Amino acid sequence: MSAVAISSARDRLLDAIKREFMPLRFASEMLARASEKTPRAAQNWLAGKNAPDAEALINLMAACNSIADEVNALVAERKAARERQACPGSD
């Protein structure tokens, strides 16, 4: 997987989080509650400094359908890309 694809996935995830939570008055607090993390961690996600860890991401997916949809779309895109490629061990 290329670095461009990885950063793109990270950017798309952070964009989905921002779309869902930035309009809220207490965005970082609401995001922290949904992810079961600290408000400071949530502030870093909203600022694009860091991305959620796996546990926080699963909690966000369980709490927010839009974030779950974005992650599932990323997975579907990766699966489709791999289906077009031959498995390296199949030669």
Give the tens place of pLDDT for each residue, 40-50. 999 999 999 99
Please report which confidence band the pLDDT of residue 83 belongs to, taking 50, 70 and 90 as the band edges.
Answer: confident
Tokens of 21: 């939570």
List the domain boundaries for the chain: 3-84
Comparing 9 with 84, which gets the higher pLDDT?
9
Q: CB under 8 Å, gap of 24 or more: what pairs does 60-64 form? A: 60/17, 60/31, 60/34, 60/35, 63/34, 63/35, 64/20, 64/34
Instruction: Give me the pLDDT at residue 82, please.
Output: 83
Compute CA distances 68 → 16, 64, 74, whole Å: 9, 6, 10
pLDDT in tens, 32-74: 999 999 999 999 999 999 999 999 999 999 999 999 999 999 9
